[in-house]
Chains A and B, each alone.
Chain A
C-alpha cells in the first residue's frame, strides 16, 4: 500500500540520525563519512524551505491551469464538476508518477498535487452531483466522507501527516449532515476518533523503533487531541471566540447528564494521555497530554459557569513554571541526571536548533501583547478600562 519501500525510508531515517549524531559529536568525522556512504537512498529529498516554495509554486501552477480551462467557456456547474473530478484523477496520477519516476520524497511537488486532488475531488462531487438537486444532507455527507477516505489513503500511501489531520477535519463535519442533535454530533466525532485510536494503537506496536514509529506517534497524538476537543463542549465550536466573549456555552444547550459527563471526561483524559505518553516515551503524545491538561484548566471555569478572574493566568503561569522546575530538579537529582529512563538534559542537536529558532520567533511575537499600545493625544486617557473585570471593578484610576 505504501508508495515508498521500507528499506528506502529506513535508510533515510538512518542518514538523518547519523547527521544528528555527528553534529552532537557522538561520531567522528571519519566515521560519519564512512557510514554516510552506507545510507545512500534513491529517494530525492530537499530541505524544508525549498519544499515549501516548491509546494507553493505547484499549487499556483495547478490552480492557474485549472482556472484557465474554465475561463471563457461558461460551462454548467455539472460540467465543471465532471471536469474537476477528471482533474482530481490527473493530479493524483501526476503525484504517483512523480514519485515513481523521480523518486520525490517530501519534495513539495507531489504533496501539492495530492492536496489538489483532494480539493478537486470534493468540489467535483459537490458540483457534479448536488448542484442542481434539492438539498439532501444525508447524500451530501458523501463530500466530506470521500474527502476523509482519500485523505486517509494519501496518508497511508504517501506518509504525509497532514493528510491524516485533513481526514480528521473531514470527519468532524460528517455528523452535521446526519443529525441536528449537538450531543449526538459530539458523540459521533469522538466515536470515530476513538475507533481510529484503537486501530492505530493496535498497529503501531509492530513498528516500535522503526521508521513508522514517529508517524504513528503523531497520528495517535492527533487522535487524542481530537477526542479531547470533541468531548470538551466549551472548546469544540467554530464560534469559540464569539462564545467566550459573550459568555460560556450554557449547560442547558445539552442534556445535563451529557454535559457533566463530558466535564468529568475532560479531567480524566489529560492524566490518561500523559500516562500513556510517559509509559511509551512518546514525545507527541506527552505534548498533547500537556496541552489538554492546560486546556482543561482554562475551560474549567466556563464549564462550571464561574466568573473568570484577571489573576487566573498568573496562577496558571506559576503552576506551569512550578511543574517545569519541579520535574527538572527531580530528574537532575537522579543518577547521572536520569530517572526512570527520563532526563532533562539535551541529547539532540535538533532540540537546540528548535530552541534557537523558537526563542527568536516567540521573542518577536510576544511583545505585541506585552508592550503598551500607542496612545492618542487625549489628556483624559485613563489606563485600563477593565469593564470586563470581575468583582465590580471599573478599572479606572
Chain B
C-alpha cells in the first residue's frame, strides 16, 4: 500500500483531518516541491568559488594592481558584508534564531572568508605583526566566535573552531624542537578548552544548539590525540588507559543521548587502539589474522545487541 493510499485510509478512519490529508498528500506528491536545500548549496558553492577566485587573483596580480586597489576592494567587500549583517540582523537571542533573510548566513560567511584573505595580504605585504601568524589566528578565532554567537551561524562557528585549532598548531610549529608529544598535549588542551567552553555555554543556555558541533570536534580530536599516544613506542600504557576512559564516556554519552555517532567513535577508535596494544610486537601472521577474525566477530555481536536495544533509525 503506497503512502497516498495509507493517507486516504487514515482520513476515512478519522485518524487525520481533511486538511491534514490534503497537506500531507500534497507533500507526498511533491506538491509543492521544495528546492530549499539546492538553493542553499548553490549559495555556498558561489561564496566559496568567489573567495577562492579572489584569493587567487590577489595572489597573482597584487603587483600590477597595487596595495591601494587590493586593500580597497577587500575592505570594500568586508565593509559591505559587515554593514549588511549588522543592519539586517534580528535582535540577539540566546536561543536558536532564524536568519533574517535567505542570504544572510552566506553574506556573513563571505565576510569572514574575505577577512582571512585581507589579513593574509596585510601580513605578507606589511609584516604588521612580524610574521606572528598565530596571533592572527587567535584574533580571527575570537572574532569568529563573536560573530557566530551574535548571528547564530554554524559556518562561522566552525571557522572559529578551526582557527583556534590552527592557533594551537602554529604555536607549537614555531618551537625549534617540536615533537609529537607536544602536539598531543596541545591537542588535549584544545579539547579541554573547547569542551569546557562549549559545556559552560550550553549550561548557561547560550546557543545550546551549537553544543553538538563542539562535542563532535572535541571527540574526534581527543580520540586522535589519545590514539597517537597509544601508538607511541614508550609510555603508551597511560594513553591506553585514557583511551579506555574516553571510549567509555563516548559510549555512555551516545547511548544515553541517542547520539550514535559517539557509539561509532567509541567502537572504531577503541578497537584500533586496543588492537594495536594487543598485537604490538606479534610477528605471527596467523595469530594476527586470528585475532582480527575473532575480535571483529565479538564487536559485531556487541554492536548488534546495542543496535537491537537502542539503535532505531533516526
Contact = CB atoms under 8 A, between A and B. Distances in A.
A362 B44 contact: yes
B311 to A, nearest CB: 4
B300 A314 contact: no
B24 A26 contact: yes
Most buried by B among A49, A60, A314, A316: A49
Contacts of A58: 296, 300
Interface string B174-213: 0000000000000000000000000000000000010011
Interface string A45-83: 111111011101110110111011001100000000000
A57 B296 contact: yes
Contacts of A328: 39, 102-103
A397 interface: yes
B4 A209 contact: yes
Interface string B249-289: 00000000000110110011001000000000000011001
Contacts of B154: 356, 359-360, 363
27 contacts: A26-B20, A44-B308, A47-B313, A47-B314, A52-B264, A68-B293, A71-B289, A290-B42, A311-B53, A317-B53, A320-B45, A324-B40, A341-B31, A343-B35, A344-B39, A351-B36, A351-B37, A355-B37, A359-B158, A370-B52, A370-B117, A375-B131, A383-B62, A384-B58, A386-B59, A393-B60, A394-B63
A388 to B, nearest CB: 8
**Chain B at the A interface: SS class:** helix
A205 interface: no
B106 to A, nearest CB: 8
B115 to A, nearest CB: 10
Contacts of A396: 63
Contacts of B63: 393-397
Interface string A291-315: 0001000000000000000111111
B43 A321 contact: yes
B53 A209 contact: no
**Chain A at the B interface: SS class:** helix
Contacts of A393: 60-61, 63-64
A377 B131 contact: yes
A317 B35 contact: no
B307 interface: yes
A281 interface: yes
Contacts of B92: none
Contact of B60 (A26, A320, A384): A384
A152 to B, nearest CB: 26
Contact of A313 (B49, B102, B113): B49
Sort A-B residue pairs by CB-CB distance and give the 9 closest, nearest first.
A363-B158, A317-B50, A313-B53, A386-B60, A320-B46, A321-B46, A314-B53, A389-B60, A317-B49
Interface string A187-213: 000000000000000000000011100
Nearest to B289: A68
B163 A318 contact: no
Nearest to A382: B124
Contact of B124 (A10, A322, A381): A381
Contacts of B299: 57
Q: How large is the interface on A (under 10, 10 to 19, 20 to 34, 35 or more residues)?
A: 35 or more
Interface of A: 7, 10, 13-14, 16-17, 21, 26-27, 31, 34-35, 38, 44-50, 52-54, 56-58, 60-61, 63-65, 67-68, 71-72, 107, 109, 209-211, 281, 283, 286-287, 290, 294, 310-325, 327-328, 331, 338, 341-348, 351, 354-356, 358-364, 366-372, 374-375, 377, 381-386, 388-389, 393-397
Given A68-B290, A324-B42, A338-B32, A31 B15 contact: yes
B116 A372 contact: yes
Contacts of B166: 367, 371
B306 interface: yes
A312 to B, nearest CB: 7
A361 to B, nearest CB: 8
B304 A54 contact: yes
Contacts of B307: 46, 50, 54, 107
B155 A362 contact: yes
Contact of A209 (B2, B267, B304, B314): B2
Given A64-B290, A366-B159, 5 more contacts: A38-B6, A313-B53, A321-B42, A325-B43, A384-B58
B48 interface: yes
Given A58-B300, A362-B44, A311 B57 contact: yes
Interface of B: 1-4, 6, 10, 15-16, 20, 23-24, 27-40, 42-64, 102-103, 105-106, 109, 113, 116-117, 119-121, 123-125, 131, 133, 136-137, 140, 153-159, 161-163, 166, 170, 173, 209, 212-213, 216-217, 260-261, 263-264, 267-268, 271, 285-286, 289-290, 292-293, 296-297, 299-300, 303-304, 306-308, 311-314
A49 B263 contact: yes
Nearest to B56: A310
Given A68-B293, A320-B49, A374-B133, A50 B113 contact: no
Contacts of B20: 26-27
A8 B130 CA distance: 67
